[in-house]
Amino acid sequence: MEFNFNKAIYLQITDLFCDEILVKKWNNGDRIPSVRELAINIEVNPNTVMRTYSYLQEKGIVYNKRGIGYFLTDDAFEKTLKMRKEEFIKQDLPVIFKTVKLLDINFDDLKTLYNEFESNK
């Protein structure tokens, strides 16, 4: 049996960073922290941050200017939203729906619970 379900750290950092984009902590075109700066802040190896930024660069969410730093692209927010939405729908939702069925929860109940959640916020 396997008991280590940790995601790779660079992917965990990616998730956190994307969250920050979605809540507008960073906006399209913004300069974002340098690899070294972020690495110190969150106490990980700079190489790990590098992998995060490279990954986001592949996705067209960040780009870099040699010798200057990393920046969000002009459609970083939209791309992040799309990427995360796809991940959520393809990876998370099936698990959630499976659980909902296993627990014999009616979909209408979910609607009720969602409304409660909304009103508490």
CB of 34 closer than 8 Å to CB of 28: no
Contacts of DNA in 75-114 (CB under 7 A): none
Q: E strand or H helix at 62, and its extent?
A: strand 62-65
Q: E strand or H helix at 30, and its extent?
A: none
Q: Which of 34, 42, 59, 60 binds a copy of itself (CB under 8 A)?
A: 42
Q: Which does 104 bind (CB under 5 to 8 A by kind): a copy of itself, DNA, none?
A: a copy of itself
Structure tokens at 37: 């700066």
| Calpha distance 70→54 (Å, rounded) | 10
Q: Which does 34 bind (CB under 5 to 8 A by kind): DNA, a copy of itself, none?
A: DNA
> DSSP letter at 44?
S
CB of 60 closer than 8 Å to CB of 73: yes
Which residues here bind DNA, judged by CB under 7 A? 2, 4, 8-12, 34-37, 44-48, 50-51, 53-54, 64-70
Which residues here bind a copy of itself, judged by CB under 8 A? 1, 3-6, 9, 12, 19, 22-23, 42-44, 58, 81, 84-85, 88-89, 92-94, 96-97, 99-100, 102-105, 107, 110-111, 113-114, 117-118
